[in-house]
Amino acid sequence: MVHGKKLSKETLLPSLLEDKDTTESEESQLEEQRPGRTDIDMHELKGQLPHPDGTTSDQGERESEGTGDAQERELREEECIISEEDYDTDLELSDKEDVYDPTGKTCYLEACEKFQVVPASCFLQQIRNTDLNMVHRGLGPQGTKALAVPLVTNTSIVKLNLRDNWMEGTGGAAIAKMLKENCFITEVDLSNNNLGDNGARAIAGMLKKNGILLKLNLSGNKFTDQSAEYLSPALITNTKLQHLDISYNSLRERAGQSLGNSLSENTGLRSLNLAWNCIQGRGAVMLANGLGGNIFLRIVDLSFNGFGKEGAIGLGQALKENAVLEELNVSNNRIPPEGAICLAMGLRVNKTIKSLKMGRNPIQNAGCYGILKCVQENPQSAMEALDFSDITVNQDFEDLYTAVKEMFPVLTVIHGNRTGTFKEAKA
């Protein structure tokens, strides 16, 4: 044969396979000739062992495995399995501890590092409370984004107060996105955060998805008529939100029209605050019409707008149609005496209104007298409080009030000084 080395190897290995009485010392010498071989190497080698006739077969592998080697290998494999199971268990527990973080402390610290902001110690101290108060903390847009990350999975906080943190539209969008996922927060205060129209759009998108939130404060966020157009469809879709405050913004005539259309179809709100805006003219009329068609609102604050005579006429008609409203505030709305008389016509038939505030309007004594007179003419009136703050009345009004008081003992009336009464100047 030309391949001498191969011949000697083929001559040696068959003899070892055929000899069943091989001693242990010979086996150990054979193992020493192949130091450092792994089980995989041995498997490959044994699979290539030739028969005496020069052919290879896998049978040589099975015949070469002794009982002792099989037991030893089984022991090694069992030890490996046990060690791997222990290792996986440790990792699993570690992962569970990281994932199961109901407060979100860990991910908050990671988010702060990502957004390059200093973690708010105030948040970490309150992270397990039901009420989270982060008023005047200067979070800014980036700090708000970091704060929103742990709130997605937080299960303890139900009231969130982020007033005056100048989060702007970016931060407002982050909070809105968080509120789409969070299933525990029911009250949110985002007032005085300069959200603007972009923030209003994000909040509107959240309201269309969120079915948990009950109270939302968006006061003082520089909302314009465009913001109202974003929010109006959301108020039709959302049926869970009960208390909404969008006071101290820049809502004008077009906003009144948008909100009026949505209020007539809203079925969730119980209180609405639109104070300190610029709703007037056609917008005031449309808003009043929306209130007339709403059958769920109990409290409405329209103070410090510009309803004027037209808006007051619309409110009078709304009071005739509305059978659920209990408190109405139209103070500081430039309502003249004629407007007050038209509003009073609604009080003549209304059976639910308990509190009416009309202070600081130029309705004069005639307007106050007309309103009180209509209350007197409605024996089913529920009126308990009339507020005519800073409006001067005369003796005729006082006499009428005395007569009405006999019919409605619980009725209280607040007004300015009575005509003809002056305080003596002190020396």
Q: Which is nearest to 276 in space by CA: 255, 303, 254? A: 303
| Residue span of the structural domain in which 373 resides | 105-415
Phi, psi of 355 (to 5 degrees): -135, 130
**To the nearest 10°, the Cα dihedral for 89, 90, 91, 94?**
120
Contact 397, 369 (CB under 8 A): yes
163, amino acid identity: R
**pLDDT at residue 227 tops 50:** yes
Q: Classify residue 49: in a domain, yes or no.
A: no
Domain assignment of residue 79, yes or no? no
**How many Å apart are CA 140 and CA 215, to the nearest integer?**
23
| pLDDT grade for 137, boundaries at 50, 70 and 90 | very high
Percent of the chain with pLDDT over 70: 74
**Is pLDDT of 427 > 60?**
no
N- to C-terminal Cα separation, the chain: 143
Query: Is the pLDDT at 97 greater than 50, yes or no?
Result: no
- How many structural domains compose the chain? 1
pLDDT at 152 over 80: yes
Number of C-alpha atoms within 13 angstroms, CB side, residue 381? 30
- Least confident among 76-90, 112-126, 248-262: 76-90
Reply yes or no on whether the pLDDT at 19 is more than 80. Answer: no
Query: Who has greater pLDDT, 2 or 263?
Result: 263
Q: DSSP secondary-structure letter at 425?
A: P
89: in domain: no
Which pLDDT value is given to residue 417? 83
Tell me the one-letter amino acid at 183.
C
d(CA 307, CA 296): 22
Of 9-23, 70-84, 130-144, least confident by mean pLDDT is 9-23
> What pLDDT sits at residue 70?
55
How many angstroms separate the CA atoms of 114 and 107, rounded? Answer: 10
Predicted confidence at residue 85, as pLDDT, reads 38
Q: What is the dihedral of CA 16, 21, 22, 24, to 10 degrees?
A: 160
According to the model, what pLDDT value does residue 74 have? Answer: 56
What pLDDT does 48 receive? 46
Residue 35 within any structural domain of the chain: no
User: Is 184 inside a domain boundary?
Assistant: yes
Residues 6+ apart with CB under 8 A from 282: 253, 256, 257, 310
Q: What is the DSSP letter of 49?
A: P
Residue 275 resides in a domain: yes
Concatenated DSSP letters for 145-184?
A: HHHHHHHTT-SS--EEE--S---HHHHHHHHHHHHHH-SS
Secondary structure letter of residue 189 according to DSSP = E
Q: What mean pLDDT comes out for the span 130-151?
A: 97
The three-class DSSP label of residue 131 is strand
Position 71 scores a pLDDT of 59
Q: What share of the chain is helix, strand, coil (3-state, %, to 5)?
A: 50, 10, 40
22-64 tens-digit pLDDT: 444 444 444 444 444 444 444 443 444 444 444 444 444 444 4
pLDDT at 53: 46
Per-residue pLDDT tens over the stretch 343-399: 999 999 999 999 999 999 999 999 999 999 999 999 999 999 999 999 999 999 999
Classify 329 as helix, strand or coil.
Answer: strand
247 assigned to some structural domain: yes
Residue 238's CATH number: 3.80.10.10
Mean pLDDT of 157-170: 97
Within-domain flag for 390: yes
Residue in 401, 386, 304 with CA at minimum distance from that of residue 343:
386
Q: Which residues, 6+ apart, have CB-to-CB distance to 354 below 8 Å?
A: 326, 327, 382, 383, 384, 385
Using one digit for the tens of pLDDT, what is the confidence trace for 315-351? 999 999 999 999 999 999 999 999 999 999 999 999 9
